[in-house]
Amino acid sequence: MMNELLIKPSGVAAAPIKSVIGQRVFARYSLLFVLVLALALVPILISNSFYIAVANLVMINAVVAISMTLLLGTTGQLSLGHAGFFAFGAYVSAYLGGPQGLPTLLALALAVLGTAVLGWCVARLFLRLSGYYLAVATLGIGMMLSIVLRNEQHLTGGPDGMSVVPFGVLGFSLQGEMVWYFVLLFVLVFATVGSYNLLRSPAGRALRTLHDAEIAATSVGVDVRGYKVRVFVLSTALTGLMGALYAHYAGFITPASASFTHSVQFVMMAVIGGIGSVAGAVLGAVIVTLLPNLLAGAAEYEVLVVGLILLSTVLLLPRGMVPTLTAWYRGRKGRKAS
C-alpha cells in the first residue's frame, strides 16, 4: 500500500508532462510542414529566376550554417576553416566528375567521404585544443587548403578556377534554377529534421553537456573526445556535401570559396541566428546571404552594416535572435497564464 501511494503521484504527474512534450513536438513538426509547403510554392508564385537563384544560395548557406551550429552550439568548438572544407568538397566532386570522368553521383559521394576523412584527421590532431587555439588551428587548415587550390593549377585550374560538369542522375541532368531549388529544399529539410532529432537524442544531450560542463560530463562517463570528433566529422561532411552541390549548381568554382571571409560568414550565420538553434542557423543564413543583394546600390557599406548587425546581436541578443525571442515569448505567455 505504501509503495502504491508513493508511485501513483509520480505516475499521475508524468502523464501531463508527456502530453505537453507531445504537443510541442506535434506543433513543431506541423509548423515545419507548413513552412515546407509554403517554400515549395515559391517557384510557382515567383517566376523571376534571379529571386530563385538567391533562394538557392540561401539554402546552400543554411545547411552549412546548421552544420556550424551543431559544432559550435553543442561542443563549443569554433572553426574558422569551414570554407576550406566547403571548397574541398566542391573541388573533389568537380575534379572526379570532370577530368576523371566518374559519374557525378559517385563523385559527389566520394567528395563527401573525402571531406569527412579530412575532418576526422583535423579533429584527431587539433581537438585537444579549445577556444581560440582551436579557432587558430582550423584557420590555418583553411588557409593551407586555399593556398593548395591556388597553386595546383593542373588539378584546380589555379586562381582562375575550373568549370564543373552538370550534375547527372539516372540519365537526367539537373539544370535550371527551379530544378535545383527543389533539390536544395529537400537537402535543407533533411538536414533540419536530422539535426533536430540529433539534438533531442541521448547523443545530442551528451553533446550539449560538453558545451556547458565538460568536466562534469567527463565525470559521469561521457566520451568527451569521441563525441567531439564525431560532431566535427558530421559538420565537415555536411559542409563538403553543400560545397559539392554548389559546384555542380554554379557550374564553376574558384579558390575564393575557401577564403577566410567565407569562413567568417558561416560563423556569423550561426551567431546572429542563435548558437545551438537550428532555426536560428537558417535565419542567420537568410540575413547574411540577402544583405549583399539588399545593399547592391551601396556595396561600400556592406561590411559596416554586417558589423553593426553582429555587434547589436552580441550586445542586445547575446543568445542570438531565435533563442532570445523564443525565451521572451514563452516568458510572456507564462506570465499571462499565471
Per-residue pLDDT of the chain (338 residues; tens, 9 = 90+): 334 434 444 444 444 544 555 666 677 667 777 888 888 888 888 878 888 999 999 999 999 999 999 888 777 788 888 999 999 999 999 999 988 889 999 999 999 999 999 999 998 888 777 667 788 888 888 899 989 999 988 888 888 889 999 888 777 788 889 999 999 999 999 999 998 888 888 777 777 776 666 666 666 666 777 888 888 999 999 999 999 999 999 999 999 999 888 898 899 898 888 888 888 899 999 998 988 877 776 666 777 777 787 788 778 777 788 888 777 777 777 777 66
Question: What is this structure's pTM?
Answer: 0.85
Could you tell me which of 23, 61, 101, 98 has the C-alpha nearest to residue 281? Answer: 61
Taking the C-alpha atoms of residue 41 and residue 325, their distance in angstroms, rounded to an integer, is 27
pLDDT at 14: 46
Contacts of 142 (CB under 8 A, 6+ apart): 80, 81, 82, 83, 84, 85, 258, 260, 263
Q: Mind giving me the DSSP string for 179-197? A: HHHHHHHHHHHHHHHHHHH
